[in-house]
Amino acid sequence: MTEIHKIIASVKNALDSGAPALDHADTANHAMPVAPSAHRAELATAFARELEAVGGVFLGILTPAAMTIRIVTLARELDAKTVAIGQGLNVDMGAIGEALERAEHKIVRTLPVADIERVAMRSRVAGAELGIAEADFAIASTGTLAVVSTDSRPSSLTLLPPASLVIVQIDRVVANLAEVLAAMGPNGVAAHRLTLITGPSRTADIEKRIVLGVHGPKSLHVVVVWPDND
């Protein structure tokens, strides 16, 4: 059994067994329940701290409108003439693309294509200075992003452009990898390509000096979205 399947099996066993109920006499020794919004903010704060510890840049917890403005500003700061954008899960990537186009950035949209056109699409993504993707989850304990690849959200978005921007919803910030695997389930993990991103690309040379961007993005920026209606 591989390590990943051991992890999946342990998570499944934990879910099947359920958490033990608290004895009434013990309730006084436990903290009062935390409001969901406060818990989300706590997880996002922990994620931001760990992300920056591994060299990532946290752009903040923003509303959808503020996020779009910040993305356009980032593209300008990076002098990204071309931006590659994938399909979103919950984020309106179309609106982001239109805002970038109004700011005179060229947009490469990753749409499902025939196998014969896939190489050309990958080449266009590689030619962009900035790639934008929405993550399925963010892991607070390690500052890691978990992204499931699809035809309209290929892994090339987070691997090929020299700068990467990843968007994640506040309710998708979880405590650890076990929660990601539990949410996806064994079948989901087995059926999809899951990319785990912890900071920008880092490579050590023969003298053990760390070099950024040799085998992936040199910079990683992350924004957490807090919906207006939440």
Q: Distance (Å, rounded) from C-alpha 178 to C-alpha 166? A: 21
For 225, phi then psi, to 5°, come to -100, 130
pLDDT tens readout for residues 82-134: 999 999 999 999 999 999 999 999 999 987 766 667 788 889 999 999 999 99
Within a domain: residue 7? no
Count: domains in the chain: 1
Within a domain: residue 22? no
Within a domain: residue 28? no
Q: What is the pLDDT of residue 216?
A: 57
How far from the centroid of its chain's Cα atoms is residue 5's Cα? 22
Give the angle subtended at the CA of 122 by the CAs of 120 and 126, to the nearest 5°. Answer: 115
Within a domain: residue 107? yes
Within a domain: residue 94? yes
Q: Residue 200: give its domain's CATH number.
A: 3.40.50.10420
pLDDT tens readout for residues 22-65: 343 443 444 445 567 889 999 999 999 999 999 999 999 999 99
Q: Distance (Å, rounded) from C-alpha 219 to C-alpha 213? A: 7
DSSP type of residue 157:
H
Within a domain: residue 5? no
Range of the domain at 204: 37-225
Within a domain: residue 230? no
pLDDT tens readout for residues 166-218: 999 999 999 999 999 999 998 888 888 899 999 885 554 454 454 444 455 89
Q: Distance (Å, rounded) from C-alpha 82 to C-alpha 134? A: 18
Q: What is the pLDDT of residue 116?
A: 63
pLDDT tens readout for residues 66-85: 999 999 999 999 999 999 99
Q: In 78-218, at which residue ranges do the beta strands (DSSP E only) sit?
A: 82-85, 106-109, 130-134, 137-139, 144-148, 163-169, 173-174, 194-197, 202-204, 210-212
Within a domain: residue 93? yes
Count, residues in the chain: 230
Q: What is the pLDDT of residue 191?
A: 85
| Token pair 């539990």 in the structure block, residue | 182
